[in-house]
Structure 1
Amino acid sequence: MVDFKIILSDPETGRSYKIDAADPAARALIGKRIGDEVDGSIFGLAGYTIKLTGGTDKTGIPARRDLPGPARRRLLLSEGVGFHPVMDGERRRKSVRGSEISADFVQINAAVKQSGAKPLSEYFGQPEAAAE
């Protein structure tokens, strides 16, 4: 049984929405790569096209788009996903995961590439106002 948390960002409104993808929808994502576009009807979002932008595994290790395969590796990084240097020229060996989505992923980040007929707020509801 595979479950993913999908964080869907809407660049038009600047809001993010959380989708809990259970077994059938989650299995449709296994084998896809970061940067691929998928049909939104998998998650019940008719007419939407969704681009996969990133993800993390169960221990919080991020996935890099430029690393093939689903495996976890320790790389010497100087910048980019997984490491942000503080000093000029700093490098550090960090664990990162490949770009292919596997059952080890827990969270998948995604963005709306093409909108459907209904806005996302109709699918997920309006956010509640913060209590003061």
Structure 2
Amino acid sequence: MATFKLNISDKKGRTITKEVKEKEAGPFLGVTVGTELDAALIGEAGKLKITGGSDKSGVPLRADIHGGARKYILLSQGIGLRDAENGQRIRKLVRGNTVTEEVYQLNCSFDGELKIEEKPAEESAEKKA
């Protein structure tokens, strides 16, 4: 079965990372980028929207490519291309918008506010010393 690392961010910009394995990862398989899911899958109340991700070798998911396969496409801007000069186009490897077992990381946005557990100040002070 699949194992995913979920990077979940809320509207305030806070982010948490959760790892889902085996049966917990089942509902994410076959879902496309841009789909909204119930946040009960991660133990929260609300909606969870998949905004992107990458596969096991770091190739990004791109929402405008259908399927789950890796493809070389000609890019002038957008996801999968960092900097291109004006008029320059580069052929890059990207993965389609469907979540498969090869996907390693999923980026998600949560419509509510995340509860982040903070470590006590005593523990962090001890680690620095």
| TM-score scaled by length of structure 2 | 0.88
Q: Paired residue for 1:126?
A: 118
| Distance in 1, Cα, partners of 2:107 & 2:120 | 23
| Distance in 2, Cα, partners of 1:109 & 1:66 | 16
Q: In the alignment, is the contact (CA less than 8 A) between 2:77 and 2:84 conserved in 1?
A: no
Q: In the alignment, is the contact (CA less than 8 A) between 1:85 and 1:91 conserved in 2?
A: no
Q: What is the CA-CA distance between 1:28 and the residue it aligns to? A: 0.7
Alignment of 1:44-63 (within 5 A): 44-45=43-44, 47-63=45-61
- Report runs of 4+ in structure 1 exceeding 4 Å deviation: 127-132
| Distance in 2, Cα, partners of 1:48 & 1:19 | 17
| Distance in 2, Cα, partners of 1:126 & 1:73 | 41
* Superposition RMSD in Å: 1.7
Q: Paired residue for 1:29?
A: 28
Unaligned 5+ runs, structure 1: none
2:8 maps to 1:8: yes
- Percentage of pairs with the same residue: 35
Unaligned 5+ runs, structure 2: none
Call closer, same or farther: CA 1:83–1:127 in 2, change over 3 Å: farther
Question: What amino acid does structure 2 have at the position aligned with 1:34?
Answer: V
| Distance in 2, Cα, partners of 1:31 & 1:109 | 15
| Distance in 1, Cα, partners of 2:27 & 2:109 | 17
| Distance in 1, Cα, partners of 2:95 & 2:84 | 22
| Distance in 1, Cα, partners of 2:118 & 2:64 | 36
| Distance in 2, Cα, partners of 1:42 & 1:52 | 13
Q: Which whole-Å deviations, capped at 9, do the CAs of 1:101-124 have from their partners, x for residues lacking one? A: 0000000000013x2xxx522xx4
| Distance in 2, Cα, partners of 1:39 & 1:74 | 33
Alignment of 1:59-70 (within 5 A): 59-70=57-68
Mark the structure with the bigger radius of gyration. 2
Q: What is the CA-CA distance between 1:44 and the residue it aligns to? A: 1.4
Q: In the alignment, is the contact (CA less than 8 A) between 1:38 and 1:49 conserved in 2?
A: yes
Q: What is the CA-CA distance between 1:55 and the residue it aligns to? A: 0.6
Alignment of 1:65-84 (within 5 A): 65-84=63-82
| TM-score scaled by length of structure 1 | 0.86
